[in-house]
Structure 1
Amino acid sequence: MDMPEEIKQFKITLVGNTQVGKTNLFSRFVQGKLPKVIYPTIGVEYALKQYQLSHNQQINLQLWDTAGQERYRQIILQHLKKAKGVYLVYDITKKATFDQLEEWLDNIRQLTDPDVAIMIVGNKLDKVVDNYELREVQLEQAKNFADLHNLTFMEISVYSDEDVEKCLTKMVEEICNTSQICQK
């Protein structure tokens, strides 16, 4: 009798400044919808999501939503350890959140393994569709930052659900490619 194959599991952490949309992104990943009421995350929140790879392998994603407030920074940084993937989220309508990416990236690289998959995610694309003046971080500026640091980059809208599933799929593919933990 064949034994069932062990389900692979890996940790993905969401980090970034406060109010960039990490909790909404977390909710879209886990529940497929936005939360009815949004409260600032205190410390961290955790959920497990089953994910089916294209070759029918089942994996479990441990998703960790972290607070963005400075007072929780040390707690947040501890949750980077053993992460196979990190979403570094900023708000495209608030340049200050983009300006903090370098500091976040330094922390991530100090506390994670060298093969961790890091994705820069510009959120709130929906806000600039009809009012481009609200955009404070230009697409080229973000692409250049990602290229400079050899990172994957996407812009999404958690509110309208634009490219959220693609964002998750891209992260899983990158983790599978870099860590060799997924079968092909």
Structure 2
Amino acid sequence: MIEVRIRLKWKGVLCFIAWVIIICSSSVFAEEKYKLDISEIEKKPYNLNGYAEFRPVLNVVDRDAALYKLKFYNRDEGKTTGEYNFKFLIDGSYEKDIARLFLRLSYDLNYINASWSDNLKPYEASLSLKPSPSLTLDIGKKTLKWGKGYAWNPVAFIDRPKDPDEPDLALEGFWVISADYIRSFP
């Protein structure tokens, strides 16, 4: 009985040692030579981001309700009505020398009650010029960031109302002309 336990213990130790050797040797030989490709780290003059969202909704209606009879007076919609909501948000920028052009578009497409509706809204569209490191000129529609408030900010005098569920949601900006001049005094 003792001899069987010793054999099993040694077999376990030998299996563990073999496993450690295999893992260590495979990681040593898996090394690859370092290659530097400058095009991968160079800053591109353009940037394009965005997302698409699809949100289907199924409504179960009460056919005996007064609101159903008012809304669907001459037609029978059945027990359920469907609605399809699409949202696309695209933002892009292009930089050339001292100029930077930025554009953020929101497009909503909805299919409700057998009719399509759409809405294209520019959230931001601005041109920024930086003739020197201390001077920046901006013109266009921009979202202004003030203070450090998360869902509510008491010092955000020029700000649209935020959605408490999504405070970082890209909101529509204001048409502004601004200039920033930064200088250090000795």
- Higher relative strand content: 2
Using CA pairs under 8 Å that are at least 6 residues apart, name the structure with larger relative contact order, 1 or 2: 1
TM-score (norm 2): 0.26
In terms of Rg, which structure is larger?
A: 2
